[in-house]
């Protein structure tokens, strides 16, 4: 059995923290042959898709073979794990992966759903589970919403890892000027949400596999910041799911499974759904280290069950 991982250059991966590294190593332990490429290595000729890929031995980290042209239809599974932004190159890669999908290859996550489920906008399907939220480009509408809510956070729709997220009070000087900057003079929509003070107690990352929660961590912001993302210095902590969080998973899990979103990380703050991360969710290493569970191996086991 052969699996292909489409991701950022392997030289950029930190195996001690990266979920893609954890998944590749778990796949190797399951006697799966591992190959890797970047989106730029994907190509199509006629109705067949190929990748200029390298065979990888990920454990111990890492041995990489010489690049070879590989027919995508020869892989039983392709993991699309390229980090955001979801730009033109990312979108074109999903279309090329759909060529393999038509040949019967399982692509995770499903390319069409990667396009349809923006990591900020996708959560709007479950707006009743969220804090008050507005997505808009117009400064007047955004400023009015901010003053109505008292204090808000503003998120770029294409951001990752908490980058570019701003906390704003309703009476902040120059509010309109800031919103002009964030919307690029009203050309790009942003997401504005009521600020939840409970974020100081943590932002919970819950990993769902084939629609069911399999692991979670609490991410507590570092001193002086409200953003809890691990990439920005947030501290991972052991946690368990609350009744409310289990209910959120039950409500959205079947839809994720139906959409072919096999490996997803949702973010919950104070019992409120914040984001649904579908491109390259992180958190496996932290769950494994804090909870002492072989999460990556469990993910691969569920995948092999799915493949039959």
Which positions are annotated as active-site residues? 120, 155, 205, 219, 227, 267, 275, 277
Distances (CA, A) of 46 to 49, 50, 99, 104, 214: 8, 11, 10, 17, 40
- What contacts 254, CB < 8 A, 6 or more positions away? 211
Could you tell me how many helices (H) and strands (E) the chain has, helices first? 8, 17
The C-alpha atoms of residue 300 and residue 208 are separated, in whole angstroms, by: 13
The C-alpha atoms of residue 99 and residue 164 are separated, in whole angstroms, by: 35
DSSP per-residue string spanning 222-237: PTT-S---GGGTPEEE
Strand, coil or helix: 15:
coil
The token pair at 97 is: 């992966």
Q: How many CB atoms lie within 10 A of CB 66?
A: 6
Phi, psi of 23 (to 5 degrees): -70, -40
Distances (CA, A) of 103 to 7, 34, 107, 111: 21, 20, 11, 14
CA angle 193–199–201, rounded 5-degree value:
165
């Amino acid at each position: 059995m052969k699996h292909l991982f489409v991701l950022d250059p392997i030289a950029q991966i930190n195996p001690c923290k990266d979920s893609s590294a954890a998944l590749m190593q778990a796949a190797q332990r399951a006697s799966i042959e591992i190959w890797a490429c970047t989106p730029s290595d994907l190509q199509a000729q006629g109705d067949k898709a190929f990748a200029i890929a390298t065979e990888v031995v990920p454990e111990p980290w890492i041995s990489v073979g010489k690049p070879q042209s590989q027919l995508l239809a020869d892989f039983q599974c392709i993991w699309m794990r390229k980090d955001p932004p979801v730009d033109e190159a990312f979108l074109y890669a999903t279309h090329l992966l759909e060529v393999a999908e038509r040949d019967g290859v399982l692509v995770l996550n499903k390319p069409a759903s990667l396009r349809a489920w923006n990591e900020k906008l996708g959560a709007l399907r479950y707006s009743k589970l969220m804090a008050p939220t507005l997505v808009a480009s117009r400064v007047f509408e955004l400023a009015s919403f901010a003053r109505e809510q008292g204090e808000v956070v503003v998120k770029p729709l294409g951001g990752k890892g908490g980058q570019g997220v701003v906390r704003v009070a309703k009476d902040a000087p120059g509010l309109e000027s800031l919103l002009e900057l964030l919307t690029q003079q009203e050309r790009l929509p942003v997401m504005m949400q009521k600020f939840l003070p409970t974020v100081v107690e943590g932002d919970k990352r819950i990993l769902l596999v084939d629609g069911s929660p399999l692991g979670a961590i609490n991410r507590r912001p570092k001193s002086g910041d409200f953003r809890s993302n691990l990439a920005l210095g947030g501290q991972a902590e052991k946690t368990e799911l609350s009744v409310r969080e289990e209910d959120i998973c039950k409500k959205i899990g079947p839809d994720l499974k139906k959409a072919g979103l096999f490996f997803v990380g949702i973010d919950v703050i104070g019992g409120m759904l914040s984001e649904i991360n579908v491109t390259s969710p992180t958190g496996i290493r932290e769950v494994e280290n804090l909870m002492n569970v072989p999460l990556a191996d469990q993910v691969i086991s569920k995948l092999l069950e799915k493949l039959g």
